[in-house]
Chains A and B, each alone.
Chain A
Amino acid sequence: MSDLIGKLNSLEGEVLAQIAAAKSSDALEQIRVSVLGKKGSLSEVLRGLGSVDAAERPKIGAVSNQVKAKVEEALSRAKETLGSAEINAKIAKEKIDITLPARSLHLGSLHPVTQTVRKITHILGKIGFDLTTGPEIETDFMNFEAVNIPKDHPARDMQDTFFVGPGVVLRTQTSPVQMRAMREQKAPIRILCPGAVYRADNDATHSPMFHQIEGLWVDKGVRFSDLKGTLQFFAQELFGSDVKIRLRPSYFPFVEPGCEVDVSCFKCGGRDEKCSICKGTGWLEILGAGMVHPRLFEVAGYNPNEVSGFAFGLGIERIAMLLHHIPDLRLMFQGDVRFLKQFL
């Protein structure tokens, strides 16, 4: 009897020593199988139990259970220790340099002109304007005569025109779109007409092709003060709620009265004599506007005694240059990816 107990005790000592010496989870697993498995050394020892006196057996059984429990506990502790060491080793081995460049996808971008048109249409959409477009090659009639610029009128000198055929021009302004819209629908009318326009002019500040957006609001009882309020709302939404607008009387054949509209410098507010945006003037000229000339209503088939309206037009590139601090108009049309990719 003591023989078996002695064997169990010495097995315990041996196995605990093995466990302590084990270097990996795999070695521990081998130990577990060789000791606790069906053909393991513990079962081997207990096979001698048959020759032991029945009265002794419970005692030996208890010792055997104790040995088993101790081995299992030692195994589990060792496993934990070794396991975390192994994970740590794996982690250390798998460390990467996160500062290396990414396998990045190309990022697309919208042209600043498109972005600016969207900004403007979003703002004016809030107060009921809808979008409409028209052709870029127009008749002389639609581009000029219908908007009160008769043939041989000095106002024709205000715009240098490209001609493509007898009575056919590249539109110099988006105003013909207004006229098309008025001929197609009845008042009330609230539209925005963005698009490319063309003038025979090419230097640092003029491009032969550029973009305008024109707004038109026609209804019963539209007042000059409504034009002012609309433009003030627009300017404050676009440039910031603290900007002011200034209307200066001017002349455009399709409106009466007509005005040029300045917005107070959104950068310096007129406080910086060397301001790069307003050049120290405190004001930025942004658009032309006025009350629709009754002659246009006549051409459109409206009764000028029943409706009135206002119109305004602005150069989109100019606004885009202001909003994005773009120094040179020509960058807009060069397709340089170093430029385009900045406007994500």
Chain B
Amino acid sequence: METLQHFALLLVGGALVNNILLTRFIGLCPFFGVSGAMETSVGMAGAVVFVMTLATTATWVFWNVLLEPLGVGEFLYIPAFILVIAALVQFVEMYLRKSSPALYRSLGIFLPLITTNCAVLATATESVRPGFFMMGIDYGFGFGEALVYTIGVAIGFGIALISFAALRERLEVAPVPEAMKGIPMAFITAGLLSFGYVGLGGLFGL
């Protein structure tokens, strides 16, 4: 029971309380870049859930099997993680193109974008590096914890992206002052959306 509660907290904490986009500002580029259309946002959200889970799995194993036992994690984790993630995304792209063209068509164009998305690297780093994580846990995650936390974060990313895309569709027809049109207004809207997440702070003592 204890562990179940712990995992549930990790999931909710990652998805809502510490929402990666709106409360921690990680991965904002796609947040403003692809949220113009609902369809691409849904595709992007799906691709992020997929890649983030795979990336954390790979980097967690890489860290715990190779970097940490050899004692080089401290110096090498940045280049090592980014290369593992970049290589992984390349392989996933090649594999999807051959094996599942339908899935490739819906996720494929987002995959190269995700390599340089800080959300993936941030989540991978937080899962293994104690002290970078915000919820009062100061040890590196076990494998199960890392996986659950990552899925939570990715779901939170999807929720925020899709709800923001819905807001921006309405914004297209709203009367906005000339100087504020487009991106500036999108920022103000995102600010108002993130007010909602202030209210979630402190939920379950997270």
Partners in one complex: no
